[in-house]
């Protein structure tokens, strides 16, 4: 697609429920990143996928968070047993092969998650 697509754009869930957030990166982009942004804050790194390499999971805040990337394309971020502190905007970004077609990261519009 023309840009990074994230769905849903908004999600309200009850505390304790599981949620899945989806990211569809730009075609041909080999790297994919998940970040989250709490109200009025900067971006917090969560996880990074690069091709077939093992993902960098160093930013996942707890074992309730997991992510997968199927077929080197679409990625799903899953949050189990949601807590109120999980409320944030979850942003996905993708990037072309380093140097081949540029270096810039392209972000999606995000999923605003509200846990009530």
Partner 1 sequence: GIQVEQSPPDLILQEGANSTLRCNFSDSVNNLQWFHQNPWGQLINLFYIPSGTKQNGRLSATTVATERYSLLYISSSQTTDSGVYFCAVGGNQGGKLIFGQGTELSVKP
Which residues here bind partner 1, judged by CB under 8 A?
A: 31, 33, 35, 41-45, 48, 50, 56, 58-59, 89, 91, 93, 95, 98-99, 102-107, 109-110
Identity of the residue, 18 or 104, whose beta carbon is nearer to partner 1 in the bound complex: 104
Identity of the residue, 86 or 90, whose beta carbon is nearer to partner 1 in the bound complex: 90
| Minimum CB distance to partner 1, residue 8 (Å) | 15
In SS3 terms, the chain reads as CCCCEEECCEEEECCCCCEEEEEECCCCCCEEEEEEECCCCCEEEEEEEECCCCCECCCCCCCCEEEEECCCCCEEEEECCCCHHHCEEEEEEEECCCCCCCCCCEECCCEEEEEC
| Minimum CB distance to partner 1, residue 29 (Å) | 11
């Amino acid at each position: 697609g023309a840009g990074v697509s994230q769905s849903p754009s908004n999600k309200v869930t009850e505390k304790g429920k599981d949620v899945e957030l989806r990211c569809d990166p730009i075609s041909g982009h080999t790297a994919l990143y998940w970040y989250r942004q709490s109200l009025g804050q900067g971006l917090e790194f969560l996880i990074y996928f690069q091709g077939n390499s093992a993902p960098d999971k160093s930013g996942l805040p707890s074992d309730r968070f997991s992510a997968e990337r199927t077929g080197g394309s679409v990625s799903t971020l899953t949050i189990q047993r949601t807590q109120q502190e999980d409320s944030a905007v979850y942003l996905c970004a993708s990037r072309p092969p380093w140097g081949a077609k540029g270096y810039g990261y392209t972000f999606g519009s995000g999923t605003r998650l509200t846990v009530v």
